[in-house]
């Protein structure tokens, strides 16, 4: 461990340039084993840097039910990763083992694409073995597949494997669809692990049911380079080399396939993005409509972050009357909040999201599907809702499951992508990054919508925002990159760009 380097368990675990990071991975192996002992259950370790460039890598821990590592352990992870060597010796001498610890490990991203994954996974295994852990290395998986497999394993299905995942979601999708999807969907897999996995899932469903065309499968392009969900969302343009046709459905995953966004061209060949906000709106209105049709009374909520487009929030609150909550960035916060609703739909604007339903509500919906006191229409809506919820990976945002869910809703509503994108029109927006000497001096509050420190920054932002109609802007230090992120939206693209630039200068 280099003396002068400090790392921290950020928005999604440790992440950074892969070289010299072995000690972090080794220590996370140790921590995973320790947590496994405490929980008396298997713990997941994911080796990935998601949408970041190929030379980066990262590691995150997954708790027994497939949820993110408990926040109380994040500071422990940071302390362990930064401990000078003698302290590590002390940690190694920590008290007696409780049972046999067991960790799951998925190395993701094909060897030649993220070359560091092999040695870094090895470091995790070594660290875990030092604590006597039994390790199950599942090889290449998407992040959500690992969450799913871990949750099934700890639920008692110790033989669960990747195939189980495909069978489960392929049959759920087929059960929901009454007729095949008529037009194809093209999916940019960011040259990541999602390409091979989506191909397998599509095979299990069958090309006669849905035609999924995989683009950027990693055969030639580089991981996340000029492609993938983050690129398309931030650049607001198609992945390089993709020849688009108006009204065709296109989607992008990120490198570890936990983000999904859609896009298309309108009749004037304008690029139209359907991001996490629009997927959330589609899911939530579909659920709400079916709850109503089934006469089931449940509390439905949507959870967003400050990055949600202002018009998506307006649409959901004012036109659809759906309850909304806002949390800081990072799916762990959104997921936690979603669980406070009977049914929680959460999405980051960048396309990471899922739906959570508590078991009691799930039972209520299933029972309604067979309730003789309900009308045939009510029972039908309840059944549809149950089948729809079956294609959702409730443990975490899952690009493959979310793709199937979108496709199923569009088909059921007989909607093309046009009806979907027209539910509301986004305010033009811009995201920017500012490199500063120390981003950590910026502290935020109110779910990151306001800067608290340095104290002169928020008044400066307020003054700039006032100059632009429908203006809104906020800044926050990134939890995954050494930058301060700036978000701005306004009535025109020019104004949004301008506002983002002015605020960036204020930050600098």
Ligand X SMILES: CC(=O)N[C@H]1[C@@H](OP(=O)(O)O)O[C@H](CO)[C@@H](O)[C@@H]1O
| Residue 329's binding partner out of Mg ion, ligand X, none, with CB under 5 to 8 Å set by partner kind | ligand X
CB of 192 vs Mg ion, minimal distance in Å: 9
| Residue 304's binding partner out of ligand X, Mg ion, none, with CB under 5 to 8 Å set by partner kind | none
Cβ contacts of 92 within 8 Å, gap of 6 or more: 30, 130
On whether the CB atoms of residues 265 and 245 are closer than 8 A, the answer is yes
Neighbouring C-alpha atoms within 13 Å toward the C-beta of 301: 20
Question: CA 90 to CA 27: how far, in whole Å?
Answer: 13
The residue (of 48 and 290) whose beta carbon lies closer to Mg ion is 48
- In terms of C-beta distances under 8 Å and separation of at least 24 residues, what long-range contacts does 492-498 make, across chains too? 492/428, 493/428, 493/430, 495/428, 495/468, 495/469, 495/471, 496/427, 496/428, 496/429, 496/430, 496/468, 497/430, 498/468
Count of CB atoms within 10 A of residue 416's CB? Answer: 15
The residue (of 36 and 57) whose beta carbon lies closer to ligand X is 57
Scanning 43-51, 145-153, 312-320, 473-481 for contacts with Mg ion by CB under 5 A, the matching segment is: 43-51
| Residue numbering of the annotated binding site for Mg(2+) | 50, 254, 256, 258
The residue (of 166 and 487) whose beta carbon lies closer to ligand X is 487
| Residue 485's binding partner out of ligand X, Mg ion, none, with CB under 5 to 8 Å set by partner kind | ligand X
Question: CA 125 to CA 386: how far, in whole Å?
Answer: 39
Number of residues forming the site for Mg ion (CB under 5 A): 4
Scanning 44-52, 67-75, 232-240, 323-331 for contacts with Mg ion by CB under 5 A, the matching segment is: 44-52
Strand arrangement of the beta sheet that strand 14-17 belongs to? 14-17, 56-62, 43-47, 102-107, 134-137
For the segment 343-372, give every residue that binds ligand X (CB under 6 A).
Answer: 348, 350, 352
Which of the residues 8, 19, 36, 50 is marked catalytic? 50
Scanning 46-54, 145-153, 244-252, 289-297 for contacts with Mg ion by CB under 5 A, the matching segment is: 46-54
For the segment 36-75, give every residue that binds ligand X (CB under 6 A).
Answer: 50
| Residue 12's binding partner out of Mg ion, ligand X, none, with CB under 5 to 8 Å set by partner kind | ligand X
Cα–Cα distances in Å, from 4 out to 1, 56, 145?
A: 9, 20, 36
DSSP string, 271-330: EEEE-HHHHHHHHHHHHHHHHHHTT----EEEEE-TTS-HHHHHIIIIIT--EEEE--SS
In this chain, which of 180, 246, 310, 479 binds ligand X, going by CB under 6 A? 479
Scanning 81-89, 157-165, 212-220, 479-487 for contacts with ligand X by CB under 6 A, the matching segment is: 479-487
For the segment 319-338, give every residue that binds ligand X (CB under 6 A).
Answer: 329-331
Cα–chain center distance at 272? 21
Return the closest-CA partner of residue 399 out of 214, 156, 182, 143. Answer: 143
In this chain, which of 478, 493, 497, 501 binds ligand X, going by CB under 6 A? 478
The residue (of 50 and 309) whose beta carbon lies closer to ligand X is 50
The residue (of 256 and 448) whose beta carbon lies closer to Mg ion is 256
For the segment 49-68, give every residue that binds Mg ion (CB under 5 A).
Answer: 50
Catalytic sites, residue numbers: 50
List of residues contacting ligand X (CB under 6 A):
11-12, 50, 307, 329-331, 348, 350, 352, 478-481, 485
């Amino acid at each position: 461990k280099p003396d002068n380097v400090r790392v921290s368990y950020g928005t999604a675990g440790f992440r950074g340039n892969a070289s010299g990071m072995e000690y972090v991975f080794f220590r996370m192996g140790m921590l995973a084993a320790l947590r496994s002992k405490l929980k008396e259950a298997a713990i997941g370790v994911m080796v990935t840097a998601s949408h970041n460039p190929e030379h980066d890598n990262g590691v995150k821990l997954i708790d027994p039910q497939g949820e993110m590592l408990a926040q109380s352990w994040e500071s422990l992870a940071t302390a362990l990763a930064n401990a000078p060597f003698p302290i590590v010796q002390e940690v190694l001498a920590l008290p007696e083992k409780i049972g046999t610890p067991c960790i799951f490990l998925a190395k993701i991203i094909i060897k030649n694409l993220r070359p560091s994954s092999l040695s870094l996974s090895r470091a995790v295994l070594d660290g875990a073995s030092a604590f006597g852990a039994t390790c199950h290395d599942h090889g290449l998986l998407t992040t959500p597949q690992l969450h799913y497999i871990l949750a099934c394993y700890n639920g008692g299905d110790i033989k669960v494997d990747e195939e189980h995942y495909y069978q489960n979601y392929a049959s759920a999708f087929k059960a929901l669809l009454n007729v095949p999807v008529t037009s194809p969907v093209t999916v940019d897999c960011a040259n990541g692990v999602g390409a091979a996995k989506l191909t397998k899932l599509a095979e299990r469903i069958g090309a006669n049911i849905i035609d999924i065309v995989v683009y950027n499968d990693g055969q030639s392009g580089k991981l996340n380079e000029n492609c993938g969900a983050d690129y398309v969302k931030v650049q607001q343009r198609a992945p390089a080399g993709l020849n688009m046709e108006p009204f065709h459905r296109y989607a992008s995953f990120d490198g570890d396939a936990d983000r999904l966004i859609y896009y298309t061209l309108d009749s004037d060949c304008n690029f139209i993005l359907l991001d996490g906000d629009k997927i959330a709106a589609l899911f939530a209105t579909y659920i709400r409509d079916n709850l109503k049709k089934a006469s089931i009374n449940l509390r439905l909520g949507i959870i967003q972050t400050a990055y949600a487009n202002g018009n998506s929030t307006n649409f959901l609150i004012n036109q659809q009357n759906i309850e909304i909550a806002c949390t800081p960035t990072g799916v762990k916060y959104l997921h936690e909040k979603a669980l406070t609703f009977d049914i929680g739909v959460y999405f980051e604007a960048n396309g990471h999201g899922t739906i959570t339903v508590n078991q009691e509500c799930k039972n209520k919906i299933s029972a309604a599907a067979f309730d003789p006191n309900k009308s045939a229409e009510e029972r039908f809506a309840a059944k549809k809702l149950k089948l729809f919820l079956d294609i959702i990976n409730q443990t975490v945002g899952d690009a493959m499951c979310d793709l199937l869910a979108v496709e199923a809703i569009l088909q059921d509503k007989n909607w093309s992508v046009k009806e979907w994108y027209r539910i509301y029109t986004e305010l033009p927006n811009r995201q920017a990054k500012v490199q500063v000497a120390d981003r950590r001096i910026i502290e935020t509050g109110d779910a990151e919508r306001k800067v608290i420190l340095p104290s002169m920054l928020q008044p400066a932002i307020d003054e700039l925002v006032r100059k632009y109609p429908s203006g809104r802007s906020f800044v926050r230090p990134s939890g995954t990159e050494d930058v301060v992120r700036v978000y701005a939206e306004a009535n025109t693209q020019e104004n949004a760009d301008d506002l983002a630039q002015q605020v960036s200068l204020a930050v600098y």
